[in-house]
A and B are shown apart, each in its own frame.
Chain A
Amino acid sequence: MATEQKHPIKKVNIICAKGAIEDVYATLVMGNGAVMEGIETNLFFTFFGLDAVIKRRMDKLHTAVVGNPALRLPGGMRMPTLLGIIPGMESFTSWMMKGEMAKLDVPPVSEFLDLITAGGGKIYACRLGMDMFKFTKEDLSEFVTGILTVGEFYELAGGEGSQIIFT
């Protein structure tokens, strides 16, 4: 990889609108990676993505076992949709996913937010999403910097070398 880039990315603004494990982690891994590279980082959680910054939910995320054609059983066989409706299957699958990630030193959501903000990354919640789901400030993790409207988000995202990423 070249050490000198002509147009380096100086700022990333990542939007997370979905609340499954893989959706939230895509945002967190990319966000933390940016912070570690010294890139200014803003993470914006909206709609179901808000679960990632809601204290009582953030470490209890699930992954979909129904309607997820990429989901495989141990051994590589596709998981039949009908198996997904068995009670406890979603919890079990989610528990396994988290276990595999922990082996790779991927932290739980709350710890991830701690790491990102310790490096100067900023975490925001969406005003509309908060109102829609009737969340209040007290529901939010201590690592959330603030609640933004769409307009405020765009103001924040401005600047040369800034990118908006929707995961």
Chain B
Amino acid sequence: MAQKTYAGITVDVNEEGYFNDPSQWTKEIAEEIAKEEGIVLTDQHFAIMEFLRNRYKSGDPLSIRSINHSGVIDVKTFYQLFPGAPLKKATKIAGIPKPASCV
């Protein structure tokens, strides 16, 4: 198991940098991971990350469709907030495991 230090806190991550334990996550940590990904976090980022974290906690699959039905933002905005591979980036920054869904 790999470890990484963000904002002075050492956290357990897998070989791709995803958190093993979402409870180790803080907003300060998120900002540092986001910096690595070239993203400056806004309230909108945190709002959708909170949605993703809650969904993960309740055991629901994370799909791109669920973003559209989140009531937080639409998918287009999601792609703009996390350019490139949005669901992968967003979950990484939100401190939850990489989504295993194909949709």
The reply to whether A33 and B102 form a contact with Cβ atoms under 8 Å apart is yes
The reply to whether A118 and B103 form a contact with Cβ atoms under 8 Å apart is no
Query: Which of chain B's residues has its CB closest to A30's CB?
Result: B102
Tally of contact residues, B, Cβ under 8 A: 21
Q: Which of A1, A38, A106, A119 has a CB less than 8 Å from the CB of B75?
A: A119
Interface presence of B74 (CB below 8 A)? yes
Q: Which of B65, B76, B86, B87 has a CB less than 8 Å from the CB of A105?
A: B65
The reply to whether B85 and A105 form a contact with Cβ atoms under 8 Å apart is no
The reply to whether A105 and B79 form a contact with Cβ atoms under 8 Å apart is no
With known contacts A118-B75, A118-B76, A111–B64 Cβ distance under 8 A: no
What is the bound-complex CA distance between A36 and B91, given in angstroms?
A: 13
What is the bound-complex CA distance between A107 and B68, given in angstroms?
A: 11
The reply to whether A36 and B85 form a contact with Cβ atoms under 8 Å apart is yes
What is the bound-complex CA distance between A105 and B103, given in angstroms?
A: 7
The reply to whether B86 and A111 form a contact with Cβ atoms under 8 Å apart is no
Interface presence of A120 (CB below 8 A)? yes
Q: Which of B15, B76, B83, B87 has a CB less than 8 Å from the CB of A36?
A: B87
Most buried by A among B16, B101, B102: B102
CB distance from A27 to the nearest CB of B (A): 13
Query: Which of chain B's residues has its CB closest to A117's CB?
Result: B76
**Per-position 1/0 for A21-38, Cβ under 8 A of B:** 000000001001100111
The reply to whether A105 and B16 form a contact with Cβ atoms under 8 Å apart is no
**Per-position 1/0 for A1-37, Cβ under 8 A of B:** 1010000000000000000000000000100110011
**What A residues does B68 contact at CB under 8 A?**
111, 114-115
Interface presence of A132 (CB below 8 A)? no
CB distance from B52 to the nearest CB of A (A): 14
Interface presence of A77 (CB below 8 A)? no
